Structure 1
Amino acid sequence: MKTDSAVQNGILFVRLSGDLIGSPDTQQLLQSVDQHLGEELLHCAVDLSGIRYINSTGIGVLVSLLTKFRSRGGELVLINPADHPRKMLALTKLNAIFSVADDEAAAAQLLKTA
């Protein structure tokens, strides 16, 4: 899995590609987000359009990220999940928990109103 992150207008944008299935990649993602949390960020948008496959560990990572931001009074939005992640979110009924946006601009708008 490849991870790219940037802060824009007080929002942490994380772009993921490949397979979100655990092991060192997910630990690196969590550590990267933790470093940004030290910057007092409250909002995060995770772009899942490049994720081909996600398993239960990957779902757990997304829930962990959501919990990190919500426990600080913030919010996390998923951007344009690809087909398999979208199906997994529906299967686990987490599509009712996560906010989903079509693109970065829509995610930023959702986070501004959160």
Structure 2
Amino acid sequence: MESGDHTYEHLTEDITLVRVGGNELDEYTGPPLRELLVDLVNRGRFYMVVDLTTINYINSTGLGVLVGSLRRNRAHDGGLALVVPKESVLKVLRITGLIKRFPIFDTVDPAVEHLGRNGPKTHVGQ
């Protein structure tokens, strides 16, 4: 079981891609992800795409990590989009009603485009 296999990269000046490692987001893998997401916000990264492509299972701990991150980002006028291609994870988001709280995409590119359109207008020409 993996517990700290999460990575990130800065895609633009404003947007960070966080890739969640492993195939479960639960009480073992959630806390290291929470630490990473909090650290990114503390470093001024308020727009994030969280890529859950490898995740097959998510429980209440994992959901709590995502909701907490969404709240932290929004508190700084930021945003958070999810990449969720697997039906098993989408089903949990539907059942819990969280599908209405997050912008959700099948792949990374449209999620980045969404945050870019809805992000800060600090770039030249905007």
TM-score after normalising by structure 2:
0.82
1:39: how far off?
2.5
Q: Does 1:22 align with 2:27?
A: yes
1:111: how far off?
0.2
- Root mean square deviation, CA, Å: 1.4
Q: Does 1:3 align with 2:11?
A: no
Task: Output the CA distance in 1 between the equivalents of 2:35 and 2:64.
Answer: 15
1:112: how far off?
1.3
The 4+ residue runs of structure 1 with deviation greater than 2 A are none
Structure 2: segments with no counterpart, 5+ residues: 119-126
Residues 47 and 81 in structure 1, CA contact (< 8 A), matched pair in contact too? no
Task: Output the CA distance in 1 between the equivalents of 2:52 and 2:78.
Answer: 20
Please name the residue that 1:109 is paired with: 113
TM-score after normalising by structure 1:
0.90
Q: Does 1:45 align with 2:49?
A: yes
Task: Output the CA distance in 2 between the equivalents of 1:92 and 1:80.
Answer: 15
Residues 38 and 69 in structure 2, CA contact (< 8 A), matched pair in contact too? no
Task: Output the CA distance in 2 between the equivalents of 1:56 and 1:12.
Answer: 24
Say which of 67, 75, 78 aligns to 1:74.
Answer: 78
Task: Output the CA distance in 2 between the equivalents of 1:71 and 1:40.
Answer: 12
Structure 1: segments with no counterpart, 5+ residues: none
